[in-house]
């Protein structure tokens, strides 16, 4: 694929900095979008932290510390921090100040990336990251086969992925908060500290989420050294390897949807490539990421395989390019030495970011922006430029 020669590196980095600067709030983080997303989201802020560090700004550590400031005593890290208005969502989550579910634990990667860029991270922050991963690996319910269970589809980060269609045909909607609370939040089983450990109403273990648990544990170990957490992550990687479906060239979720929507070919379903040991699987993923009949797009990888029946290139989670997922597959390709594929994913994603105005997501074919515009996590383009 031809790279986006119309955008030079300095222009991309300048645009990324401008978005982050405009979205910074005194509470110590960059809001994803001031109008649509004024609160702090966990994996958004972990990505922001890496972007700040890449741009040489010490707010990366501040943002990471703010995200981890609502951590519970048993290690659980909520996916939302409502420090700007603590009671605003108490009816939904049953608590003030923060949500009662989590998101992919990108804080392990954030710590490692900040250290790689020379940031002096305090031991308390490192310990909080370790405790967060330990909670998921030791306290969270496991499904048969060994994968870490989700307690809510939003914990995957892929809020309306086709992989959840067996649980909610037609997709989840923010307009259905009562349904979401009564059917998916209220049944969650919690630890004595109030942290989510299991949900009998949502029998699913996301392949993508599990891959990010392993990846972040391994990333954190580059800073802390090996630990019990790393050993458990190694075991989880072995369980995840068994979820590969050769015929569909993807990893599948385990649980109630394993023979149904959990097999949908989505970009988040390729994230186990980050921690895969099998070269042939990495090669299959790399090929599909560049194939215009699979995930390949002029403005970044499509979020859903183009041959899936429900593929819609401009519909929320049904086909658009998502910068955080493009970033993660780019990291995975680089880790496995697939340089040509990594460069293609990077160049097309940067093109999409710039053409969309740093949108939340965009059409993978022409870069038309969707969702909130601009969105702070699209500053990841600065790392990929």
- The sign of the CA dihedral 175, 171, 380, 101 is positive
pLDDT of residue 2: 47
pLDDT of residue 3: 47
Residues in the chain with pLDDT values less than 70 = 1-5, 170-181
pLDDT of residue 176: 58
pLDDT of residue 184: 84
CATH assignment of 9-384, given 3.40.190.10, 1.50.10.10, 1.10.3260.10, 1.20.1530.20? 1.50.10.10
Q: How far are the Cα atoms of 81, 84, 302, 320 from residue 87, in angstroms, in the given order? A: 11, 9, 37, 33
99-120: buried (b, 16+ CB within 10 Å) or exposed (e) per residue? bbbbbbbbbbbbbbbbbeeebe
- Strand bridging mode 361-362 / 24-25: unpaired
Cα separation, 288 vs 346, in Å, equals 15
Share of the chain above pLDDT 70, in %: 96
Structure tokens at 232: 């458990």
pLDDT of residue 178: 59
pLDDT of residue 5: 55
Closest of 141, 140, 149, 136 to residue 258, by C-alpha: 149
Report the chain's C-alpha Rg in angstroms: 19
Before 374, cis peptide (omega within 30)? yes
357, 335, 284, 233: CA torsion to nearest 10: -110
Interval 329-365: pLDDT, tens: 999 999 999 999 999 999 999 999 999 999 999 999 9
Cα separation, 239 vs 137, in Å, equals 13
């Amino acid at each position: 694929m031809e790279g986006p020669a119309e955008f030079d590196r300095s222009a991309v980095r300048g645009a990324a900095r401008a978005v982050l600067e405009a979205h910074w709030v005194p509470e110590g983080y960059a809001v994803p979008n001031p109008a649509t997303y004024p609160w702090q989201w966990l994996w958004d802020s972990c990505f922001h932290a890496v972007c700040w560090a890449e741009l040489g700004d010490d707010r990366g550590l501040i943002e990471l510390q703010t995200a981890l400031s609502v951590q519970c005593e048993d290690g659980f890290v909520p996916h939302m921090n409502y420090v700007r208005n603590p009671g605003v969502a108490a009816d939904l989550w049953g608590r003030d100040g923060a949500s009662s579910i989590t998101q992919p634990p990108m804080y392990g990667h954030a710590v490692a990336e900040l250290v790689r860029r020379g940031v002096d991270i305090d031991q308390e922050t490192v310990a909080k990251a370790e405790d967060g991963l330990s909670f998921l690996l030791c306290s969270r319910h496991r499904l048969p086969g060994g994968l870490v269970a989700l307690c809510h589809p939003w914990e995957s980060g892929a809020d309306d992925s086709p992989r959840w269609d067996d649980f909610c045909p037609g997709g989840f909607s923010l307009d259905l908060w009562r349904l979401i609370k009564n059917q998916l939040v209220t049944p969650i089983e919690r630890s004595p500290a109030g942290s989510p450990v299991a949900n009998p109403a949502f029998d699913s273990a996301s392949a993508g989420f599990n891959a990010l648990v392993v990846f972040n544990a391994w990333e954190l170990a580059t800073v802390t050294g090996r630990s019990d957490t790393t050993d458990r992550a190694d075991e989880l990687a072995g369980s995840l390897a068994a979820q590969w479906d050769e015929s569909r060239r993807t990893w599948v979720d385990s649980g109630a949807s394993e023979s149904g929507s959990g097999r949908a070919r989505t970009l988040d379903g390729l994230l186990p490539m980050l921690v895969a040991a099998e070269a042939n699987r990495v090669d299959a993923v790399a090929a599909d990421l560049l194939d215009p009949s699979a995930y390949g797009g002029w403005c970044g990888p499509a979020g859903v395989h183009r041959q899936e029946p429900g593929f819609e290139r401009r519909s929320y989670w049904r086909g658009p390019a998502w910068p955080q997922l493009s970033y993660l597959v780019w990291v995975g390709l680089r880790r496995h030495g697939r340089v040509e594929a990594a460069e293609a994913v990077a160049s097309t994603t940067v093109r999409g970011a710039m053409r969309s105005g740093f949108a939340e997501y965009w059409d993978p074919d022409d870069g038309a922006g969707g969702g909130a515009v601009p969105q702070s996590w699209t500053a990841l383009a600065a790392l990929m430029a």
